[in-house]
Amino acid sequence: MARPAERDERAVIDKAADLLAALDGEQAGVGVSELARRARLSKSTAFRVLGALERAGMVDRVGTGYRIGKMLRRLGRDSVGPRPEFVRDALVPYVADLFALTGQTVHVAMLDGPEVVYLTKVFGHRQAPIRPCPGDRFAAHGVAIGKALLAFDGDAANILHTATLRAFTPRTATDPAALLAELARVRSGGIAFDADEARVGVSAVAVPLRGPGGDVVAALSITYASSDPSAVRYAEHVRSAGAAAAPALRRALAQRPRSGSG
């Protein structure tokens, strides 16, 4: 006579917690079968609980797999780092100055796993044909502002080896080893570039910005047409803007709460 299957008496909240714990540190999507194995759940139960977590914004679907959702990533970021609105507000005058100097499109962004999240943008008179707006996301490996952030992120190697590195143009680097070598050059030089990597005909230059504790919390960039004859001066302009903005950013963040209201 067959022995009846042992019933899983864990509460739904416990099962959800076990599934979220199984996703800890994963940047790429993890399949249902693997998550069920890690959480010691049946596949059908894991699928049902993951569906509820996805509806609540606690996990995101990545192809046929799952990863920690935007809501939990945002909560985690707010608890350990500066809130995006504080970064944005502190940098608005320097964004305006850089725009006035170059006439080009200026961005500020922060890193969220394998993506950058744009906090603010001022469109240039000669807009390059790519227009991420505040709140938009883009793969960090494909843009200068993302490389400026990844270069100083301690988890960059794991991010690049586990994320899906999409080629947006023939110039986009998608080999993790090559990207890590490029990030080492960014750390050494303190500046990042992309040329026709996110979109053909569009280039950018970016610098990292450090917070009160010395960690890089954001980056500043300008985006321009690759054929722009003034491009040779843009690196100097962005470096100068970053040097002016960084002390103001540190002062502003030192005076603000790291989480909660205010």
Q: Do 218 and 92 contact (CB within 8 A), yes or no?
A: no
Q: Do 227 and 249 contact (CB within 8 A), yes or no?
A: no
The predicted model gives 188-205 an average pLDDT of 95
Assess whether pLDDT exceeds 60 at residue 7.
no
- Among candidate residues 68, 73, 72, the one with its CA nearest the CA of residue 19: 68
Question: Rounded to an integer, what distance in angstroms lies between the CA atom of residue 124 and that of residue 218?
Answer: 21
Q: What is the pLDDT of residue 257?
A: 52
Domain boundaries, the chain: 12-76, 81-254
Question: Rounded to an integer, what distance in angstroms lies between the CA atom of residue 250 and that of residue 235?
Answer: 22
Amino acid at 258: R
When pLDDT is cut at 50, 70 and 90, the band that residue 27 belongs to is low
Question: Rounded to an integer, what distance in angstroms lies between the CA atom of residue 151 and that of residue 89?
Answer: 24
pLDDT digits (tens, 9 = 90+) for 71-113: 776 665 544 456 778 888 889 999 999 999 999 999 999 998 8
Lowest-pLDDT choice from 25-29, 55-59, 117-121: 25-29
Of 77 and 229, the one with more pLDDT: 229
**Rounded to two decimals, what is the model's pTM?**
0.69
CATH class of 12-76: mainly alpha
Q: The tokens of 204 are what?
A: 């950018």
Q: Kindly report the CATH number that applies to the domain delimited by 81-254.
A: 3.30.450.40
Question: Rounded to an integer, what distance in angstroms lies between the CA atom of residue 114 and that of residue 208?
Answer: 16
Instruction: Please list, in sequence order, all residues whose beta carbon lies within 8 angstroms of the beta carbon of residue 7, skipping any fewer than 6 positions away.
Output: none
Specify the 3-state DSSP secondary structure of 249.
helix
When pLDDT is cut at 50, 70 and 90, the band that residue 260 belongs to is very low
> What's the chain's average pLDDT?
84
The predicted model gives 218-231 an average pLDDT of 93
DSSP 8-state assignment for residue 141: G
Q: Scanning the structure block, which residue is given the tokens 């049902």?
A: 48
Lowest-pLDDT choice from 36-40, 42-46, 79-83: 79-83
Question: What is the C-alpha R_g of the chain?
Answer: 21
The predicted model gives 132-148 an average pLDDT of 86
